[in-house]
Structure 1
Amino acid sequence: MPANKKLLVLPGDGIGPEVMRQVRRVIDWMDRKRGVSFDITEGLVGGAAIDAHGVPLTDETLAAAMASDAVLLGAVGGPKWDKVAFDKRPEAGLLTLRKELALFANLRPATVFDALVDASTLKPEIVKGLDIMFVRELTGGIYFGEPRGIEDMGNGERRGVNTQTYTTTEIRRVAAVAFELARKRGNKVHSLEKGNVMESGLLWRQEVTRLHQEEYSDVELHHMLADNAAMQLVRNPRQFDVIVTDNLFGDILSDEAAMMTGSLGMLPSASLGAADANGNRKAMYEPIHGTAPDIAGKDLANPCAMLLSFAMALRYSFDRAEEAGMIEASIQRVLSGGMRTADIMAPGMARCSTTVMGDSILRELDKLSA
């Protein structure tokens, strides 16, 4: 791979810098042992950017993101910045990146590692072998629709307004991502909406159906109401392969699926833009866990989700599926050997720090490359 592949690293807040540090170690290992190298720029986002520059994302960092082949982001936010203006909160930096990079498809795998089956709150026979890919629409829907805001109606009464809105183009492009992924997996897509009570949901169902008939009739398609899907996820989650849904439902339901796996500290995500003429996409990769301010700076955080996010970057942005698989296999081996950070600790296992988990994964990478 050419060394000029540009990677922007944004550690962020809380445990973000700690878990990103382990990724940097793996990146260095890839350079030394696999000849996979990057032109790396590091920047600030979220609360760290507020502290340094007064805004959650500077124009310079945004420009660096636009010029990069991929962005790695740790986590943003924390109680330290709870009282800043709503449009200046740390999360606004993340939303701006998603919007300006036009990252419309959020990929969130919910995978249960064999070694962590007992960490799930569901019965082992329900979750063993679970491997669901959520495709969440990321730039439309109720989070971005207009009008929005809080208005004073007089006499002490106020009203909050958010608008759910989707267009044909927004629906079809995210559905296409889901269908393409399904072709490489179990060849089955569940499309979720609330078309029984929402016109935007009815349009969603119609447009997904039309795209399926026109271009993806070889893929098995099921429509399901989002509230039923919430129930089915805890009743029989292995019926799902790829799930595609809107911004709001995707946000909620992918978190539900995440907790079924045992720990948020194990789950990565990818946010993808449209492919250009050369097939390249803007992309950002981040773990789905938060900043965990209660353990920040204590070397206790689980770095696996951040490392798995980097593995997704290798697979989807840099066409390095072999190296991505090596990271995933190394993590599986470490977990099978009984090593655990606090969030996935179980009786009889060996509790370790963030750094020691990174050490262990690097040792397994060495074995795999020998």
Structure 2
Amino acid sequence: MTGSMSGDMLELYVDLHRHPELSGAEERTAARVGGALDRAGFAVTSRVGGHGVVGRLRNGDGPVVLLRAELDALPVRERTGLPYASTGPAMHACGHDLHLAALCGAAEALSRSRDRWRGTVVAVGQPAEETLTGAAAMLADGLYTRWGRPDAALAQHLGPFPAGWVAHARDTVTAGSAWLAVTVFGRGGHAGLPGAVSNPIPVAAAIVTRLGELFPAEPSTSDGVVLTIGAVRAGDRANVVADRATIRLTVRSLDSAALDRAVATVDAAVREICAAAGSPAEPEIVVTTRSAPGVNEPLAAERVRAAHVATFGAARVLPVPPSMATEDFPLFGADATVPTVYWAVGSVSAAAWTRAPGADFVEKLRSVPVNHSPEFAPDPVPTLRTATTAMLAGARALLDSLEETETPT
């Protein structure tokens, strides 16, 4: 291993990938990350906001920079065929295992190079990102009161583009989202007595169809909304009419006002269809989770981007549009009082990218396994090396540049 990555971090990545843990159950993962930070010389505290881990490394007076990675995996059964694949019902299908190894690798490198920077680094292993609850839990447990409000917070995420590259969006980088649980009601009973029952499944199907008409899969404007039906549940026997059907969906947009309008549109459409179908009870429509759009602070983001250009070369630092993925990392911005910077790291092997069908970058992007897919398999060595180096370069840039802008005394 060369550059900013050690063999220990590759071993850590493989181990975390082999042993994924779902949101809220990341005990083993947290212990591995805490152990790596402890060995790097960080003062480590566990069980912050659940299984959250916080490591702090003080290095004299100067800025405080927070580095964050996610602990949790997804309820996806892996089909990568990797020798270190998970064999259970959970999988690191979004790259959080590699984010964690890169965080620990950057922390180790910062600890070894304390003669090159001044300030404090706070390394955070956040639980429950996939449920959009972990950041709020850590903040509620005193992250910024117990360890101090940072001068900047950094995070990165794997994406399905070539390993060795990083990507930066300007200003807004990720979408905001609302998760909804919609329950429509019927009268359950025997399938052979149609006059005595009211089947909610056709009503749910009509709602799914109508929402697909209202929200095209490819939004045509910057404030467009992406709606995804993630789950439909109703009954479990062919000869029993269910008494309810539940639809779980997300709406997401780069614009908070558009997101609010979308939630209202879903609510109105559901109620209209239920009324027209003669449902025996009003539907239940609950927003279970919300997240805000992610917006990079321009000055800090430009310093990090410039550091990446200096480190990787301009040809490997891609300008990209905002992502419709959603995150709870914006909460670390504490209502825009803490500058946040978020970027993407490529994960596709050179061979897989070459084989991928498509005449251009966008077509290839749509043909390789993406995050949350059971086939998502980052090319470990170049991806981990790049992610570790990217986090290290970003941290050093802000530790140095923030200190340079302090008022002389």
The two structures share one fold, judged by TM-score above 0.5: no
* TM, length-normalised to structure 1: 0.33
- Higher helix share goes to which structure? 1
TM-score (normalizing by structure 2): 0.30
